Amino acid sequence: MAVTVAIGFWLLDAYYLRQERLFRGLHEKVVTGGEASPPRFTMDAHRYGGEAPWLPVLLSRPMLFCYGPLITAASLLILFLS
């Protein structure tokens, strides 16, 4: 149960981090301007934000340092206490 909850929070945290990367990409494109810049007040980060693939976000350093030990410890507790 604890491992499932930790994985669920890992996925939720990865979703938030991916959204943040998309919006930072959108912000950079609006600030730099140019011919192919998005409309000024758009919030469509999926269209204009650039690339933010799931796997690099899930395996990023902060995510692994936070959820890796948590899932490892919960798995070891389940293994040794069962």
34 pLDDT more than 80: no
SS (H, E, C) 39-78: CCCCCCHHHHCCCCCHHHHHCCHHHHHHHHHHHHHHHHHH
Kindly report the pTM of this predicted structure.
0.81
State the pLDDT at residue 19: 94
**76 falls in which pLDDT band (50, 70, 90)?**
very high
State the pLDDT at residue 37: 79
Structure tokens at 39: 């409309």
SS3 of residue 33 by DSSP: coil
Structure tokens at 55: 């796997």
82 pLDDT more than 90: no
